[in-house]
């Protein structure tokens, strides 16, 4: 009885957290955007950038993507969640290919 009372509200309470684990991403036109690193996935060479106008861009690095900081090329490990970046993206179909990623701070 006691455990039932505890478990049911707990199940209901965690449900929204399950749902919010994955987020929809946005597609923007080709151009340069500034924002913060929302998520960094080193094993996939992938970043999520939250732009200043609150759009979430999912970017997979390609073989030609450049990553720089103060004008110098840096490794992917330099990207930290919460960091400020500027990204130059090229829209191909509905896919966003990062041409250049510049770490601002």
Residue 13 in the binding site for other proteins (CB under 8 A): no
Residue 18 in the binding site for other proteins (CB under 8 A): yes
Q: Is the dihedral of CA 75, 81, 82, 88 positive or negative?
A: positive
The maximal CA–CA distance of the chain, rounded, in angstroms, is 65
| Cα–Cα distance for residue pair 98/105, rounded to 1 Å | 19
Q: Which is nearer to other proteins, 60 or 76 (CB)?
A: 60
Question: What is the token pair recorded at 69?
Answer: 């900081």
Residue 15 in the binding site for other proteins (CB under 8 A): yes
Question: What is the token pair recorded at 14?
Answer: 């965690």
Q: Which is nearer to other proteins, 42 or 82 (CB)?
A: 42
Residue 90 in the binding site for other proteins (CB under 8 A): no
Residue 4 in the binding site for other proteins (CB under 8 A): yes
The number of helix segments (H) and strand segments (E) in the chain equals 1, 7
Interface segment toward other proteins; rule CB under 8 A; list 16-24, 32-40, 68-76, 77-85 = 16-24
């Amino acid at each position: 009885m006691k455990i039932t009372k505890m478990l049911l509200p707990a199940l209901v309470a965690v449900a929204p957290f399950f749902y919010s684990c994955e987020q929809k991403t946005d597609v923007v036109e080709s151009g340069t955007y500034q924002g913060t690193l929302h998520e960094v996935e080193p094993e996939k060479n992938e970043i999520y950038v939250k732009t200043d106008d609150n759009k979430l861009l999912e970017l997979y690095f390609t073989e030609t993507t450049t990553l720089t900081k103060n004008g110098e090329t840096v490794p992917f490990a330099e990207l930290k969640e919460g960091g400020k970046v500027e990204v130059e993206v090229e829209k191909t179909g509905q896919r966003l290919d990062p041409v250049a990623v510049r770490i601002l701070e």
